[in-house]
Structure 1
């Protein structure tokens, strides 16, 4: 068999020659872009938004909005915990002044307290503390800024009262500041470790510096992209941490792959220009293909109508494209200038030569006993996944923050010292019901299983609303059942049900409706792209199964560590709630799936190249693993280090994402690529490359070819 992989031609070959002719101009433009993007993107953090975990279409959100607009009531987003030292009733004047001061502050829609309402739920069980609650106005960013100013102005000591601020707005604001500080720390941790790994992998300082250079250009562009995105859509504050980590990691991946191919071509006797053209035509095509697969995996997040996920999808897709383009456009002119000087001063050359055949030997040994090795590796991964079967899901609250955070300390006080634990009750808004109808409906709600108490919040000719206390904890399955029972109850006209339990119910219903569509996008796009790439219908299906299997360990770890609280010392102390934030597994799956496919494409490209050259499947697998094993290991280790640095965050949600994604990458690059892939390909043999005759002819005409 023959292959065209060494033949010149194609768009990428043309691009390579143009970059070689205009190498200085290309590098000047790249430097100008990096500086301009860095300056423009330096203000990105201040433009990012808090929250974004609900959608305007949720019934619970509409209920809360109507409750605030029409009745000046509803779940507060700013809470003051006021400690008196003795009975709070003796401090009525000071408490009333504090409440009025809050209520008259710009950006506050309404505020009330134990002293202004007499509500026993706003007085602690021991009578020594009270709550002042408020609803703020504006979008998520404006609410966060208002909360920050209020916490600074009202926190501390006032008229003999000690005041701490909490509530969702304060939590979001503290999370913003914590996230920015965490990003700086993560960069300081990851940078030297990354350079050390690259030095060991590539030896010379020049070769090791190239991926860092591409990563720096990508991160600068990432900041600019995030700031641009904020002009058209809210972007979650967590986008800064995730997008920069993903951008740097992929930039390193892509540049590693390109530099490795360039060095191989030089070693084969080609001159610098020919080596660069071949590098871009072969490895460059794989990089672009990989970027498309990662981008499509992230695009699945767009089906969810909450901007926490949608904004990360937009940011992630843009960053992946930028990482690929930076690698393709910047590396060729840099390599042209370096030429053979790339490998000068290589202290690790002997070590790398000694390990050159390590991955080939591993592949050969695995393929001697493919059933035993493959079954053992799969069993280990399935066993690691078992804890995920016990996963419990809830919503983020102040416990996402570090233990010593003021908002977290105040939130703990609300949960432990006040009746109802500070949880918003189920609320029912009846916009068209008259007082008799509201009263009759309240009696019906009171008779439902799970209802502890029903209070009529307001009732007039303009409608009314009910506060329904449940016997269940808001994040529990029993609370969801109670919400569904209230919604199923016949009401006097339109009725909107809200509250914390209703928000969780709406979120889970939305996810249950949209997850199949997200999965369909990922599965169909991956199957089609891998068919275009390989010409086989077997390889795409096999890779899909192995990729899903490779994610199992990280999902089990999510539950074992972050839900159940085991091994917390490995990732730093955090508050575990016995639940996982309901949207995080979706985000983690899409990112991890894309990264896993990234490594699959790298390995498959070299196996396919070898197979087209001689038609021996077993030999092709061994050679492909040998050529990519060290590369994928180094790339995976770099990405894992970057993600592990994210896991040093004080925010438990970033710890969860960092640890989960780092584990997924390491498992994929070791157990899956080292054991499962060669086992599966050895067992399938020539069947790996099978496709029906009609599809084979279609691929010959329209498929991706070098």
Structure 2
């Protein structure tokens, strides 16, 4: 497949570039339409009690959405200001589609006790079309904004989604303006030339276009959260740079061996392209765990991010080869270095970790576990306007109300729907749960009771109230909805589906890594070390944003809980990124093992008859998959007097030549292969992690608390994984496992031999300067 893609890209490079240009126009033209239809409501879970009750109320409640205005900054008793407010209230009431606007001067609770602020709630009619509701909202906001006062803020309802969408678009543009120049500067340092440094940015722009287009498509069938825009775009940008970096580094290496650009591109795609393919698949598989959750938000963002990963992967193996075919001739080859000069720092780290494997493990593992300790106290919540940047209209409204009104003002109530047949005794017991409850009758014999909980909208008192109502109702037709009820249902959904999501991801990752390595122990080792870095990163996020240690330095504040979408998103995405770097390193390890074996067989072949060499040529070109030659559970042993890699008892008579079905794919020097793998991939992995950290950091400048939490979690996970885990734990654990790291039971070895995905790279050549 990769060979076919490479040939298409090199034969028709202008056609490939033209197709991708059309895709970019589509993504930045049609795709950016998603910013006009974003939602801030993410905790809804279809089929849950809170969702069903909300749908039921939407069908019978004559009132619709509402917006809230706050006027502050001067004494609201001032005659001129009062006249303006009363005139404005009268005008808003006459707007088509407006159901109710209470007088803030005569309605209890709408004027602050300090006399410096008042609230104007505007409720719209139910059943309005989207166009009618939008027009009524715009006219109401325009009318209220004409009030001459120091502070006039309006938000809520449908208006909030639009305000956040506009802010999200500004934040994405700001992040791109910050990250792209910094990424370009870093790539200039890496490659030493503008042409090579600019190509990853071209691929990155393709990733952004793919993010916009994917989200726009999903927005036609489901709600898209404002936070999905930033998460998807940052990953689209970051992964595109990662894959392009890996490919370009390999292309510059291949240019040392040939002056033929097309041949260098083919060899690059056959090696680095295969790594990109598996890396993209592992990231996509890691996100399939989000599809197990019935949450619309989690499913949509999982599908959107997976789509973006596929776009980045395709761009790296089609667009980039086409660009290299047209412009790669002027890209300088990488400098030829001796084995001792190349990646000396990473080689020394690997050898140190191998020699001191026990010391490394007993030092690094406890430190990571200590960092992960705060996860044991993890709490999730929907949150309030404090999650929003200070400059947003909704946050300014919240801060103004909080400054002038009693605590708890504006907290969403726990909504209890009493269906026909509910006994008066049950209704009275429910009302008695709180000091303040309001009731209203709806058509069909339904009664709605709104219970005002103490504390925050999703605090322990509010969620406890939901659970208490559900205990009291017994078998009667009573349903609970509202913000607190949705949080309770979301938590229950996570607890129920999380084990299945983990099982789905781990099974998929195991299959892919087994297909890549032919080992059953390497996937297990990879998952174990990756979970350590994930736990450490998430623990720091909890310590910062939940407990409030240093959150202000990042532009946030301690909120007592994480946003409810942060843990599943950080875990799934960071797990995929960690697998990304694992594939980078394993690919070089396997290549080293295969190269060592090529040299061994080539030296032996010079002493064999020509027909024997031809007969077993397939072993020279075999993929780097590792096949254990021993029985299940036994460590392979090299037969005395034979070249490394020849299994005992399976040699051609008189020659000692291994049969193609049982030959080992390596020489037995696994320790040196680990060193070589890190020597050759360490620079790429470190640069890729640094570039991703830059991208994530740029998106954190927007100030949305969930994005700050996700950005910090992903940044820490990537940096910890690319440094501590990959540079220390990987060589230490590989040394501890030894040759057993590449072990697999015989049935699985045969399955890998038959179905394992591999595409052998061409034989290496001497540098053109030799």
Same fold per superposition (TM over 0.5) = yes
Task: Please show how residues 272-671 of structure 1 align to structure 2 within 5 Å.
Answer: 272-343=261-332, 356-415=343-402, 417-418=405-406, 420-433=408-421, 437-438=423-424, 440-446=425-431, 448=433, 451-458=434-441, 462-471=445-454, 473-490=456-473, 493-571=476-554, 573-612=555-594, 613=597, 614-671=667-724
Residues 510 and 524 of structure 2 are in contact (CA less than 8 Å); yes or no, is this contact kept in structure 1?
Answer: yes
What is the CA-CA distance between 1:446 and the residue it aligns to? Answer: 4.6
Task: Please show how residues 33-48 of structure 1 align to structure 2 within 5 Å.
Answer: 33-48=23-38
Structure 1 residues 559-590: Cα deviation after superposition (integer angstroms, max 9, x where no partner): 2222233223532x334422211112211221
User: Secondary structure at 1:488's aligned position in 2?
Assistant: helix
| TM-score (structure 2 length as normaliser) | 0.81
User: Whole-Å Cα distance in 1 between the matches of residues 80 and 258 of structure 2?
Assistant: 90
User: Whole-Å Cα distance in 2 between the matches of residues 652 and 351 of structure 1?
Assistant: 48
What is the CA-CA distance between 1:539 and the residue it aligns to? Answer: 0.6
**Residue range with higher mean Cα deviation, 78-87 or 290-299:** 78-87
User: Whole-Å Cα distance in 2 between the matches of residues 643 and 143 of structure 1?
Assistant: 37
Q: Judging changes above 3 Å, is the alpha-carbon distance between structure 1 residues 289 and 650 closer, same or farther for their aligned structure 2 residues?
A: same
What is the CA-CA distance between 1:654 and the residue it aligns to? Answer: 1.8
Where is the helix percentage greater, Structure 1 or Structure 2? 1
- Show the counterpart of 1:8: none
Residue of structure 1 aligned with 2:145, choices 125, 146, 155 = 155
Unpaired segments ≥5 residues, structure 1: 1-10
What is the CA-CA distance between 1:236 and the residue it aligns to? Answer: 2.6
Residues 536 and 688 of structure 1 are in contact (CA less than 8 Å); yes or no, is this contact kept in structure 2?
Answer: yes
Larger Rg: 2
Task: Please show how residues 221-236 of structure 1 align to structure 2 within 5 Å.
Answer: 221-236=210-225
What is the CA-CA distance between 1:238 and the residue it aligns to? Answer: 2.9
What is the CA-CA distance between 1:189 and the residue it aligns to? Answer: 0.8
Task: Please show how residues 147-226 of structure 1 align to structure 2 within 5 Å.
Answer: 150-155=140-145, 157=147, 163-167=152-156, 169-226=158-215
- Show the counterpart of 2:12: 22
User: Whole-Å Cα distance in 1 between the matches of residues 220 and 469 of structure 2?
Assistant: 40
User: Secondary structure at 2:147's aligned position in 1?
Assistant: strand
What is the CA-CA distance between 1:97 and the residue it aligns to? Answer: 5.8
Residues 383 and 458 of structure 2 are in contact (CA less than 8 Å); yes or no, is this contact kept in structure 1?
Answer: no
Residues 395 and 475 of structure 1 are in contact (CA less than 8 Å); yes or no, is this contact kept in structure 2?
Answer: yes
What is the CA-CA distance between 1:693 and the residue it aligns to? Answer: 1.0
- Show the counterpart of 1:78: 67
Residue of structure 2 aligned with 1:697, choices 735, 740, 750 = 750
- Show the counterpart of 1:4: none
Structure 1 residues 331-359: Cα deviation after superposition (integer angstroms, max 9, x where no partner): 22332334553117x8x999999663221
**Residue range with higher mean Cα deviation, 628-637 or 401-410:** 401-410
User: Secondary structure at 1:489's aligned position in 2?
Assistant: helix
Residues 224 and 300 of structure 2 are in contact (CA less than 8 Å); yes or no, is this contact kept in structure 1?
Answer: yes
C-alpha root-mean-square deviation of aligned residues, in Å?
3.3
Structure 1 residues 103-127: Cα deviation after superposition (integer angstroms, max 9, x where no partner): 55455555546567x4x44454446
Q: Judging changes above 3 Å, is the alpha-carbon distance between structure 1 residues 579 and 603 closer, same or farther for their aligned structure 2 residues?
A: same
Residue of structure 2 aligned with 1:254, choices 234, 243, 258 = 243
What is the CA-CA distance between 1:423 and the residue it aligns to? Answer: 1.0
Residues 171 and 397 of structure 1 are in contact (CA less than 8 Å); yes or no, is this contact kept in structure 2?
Answer: no
What is the CA-CA distance between 1:603 and the residue it aligns to? Answer: 0.9
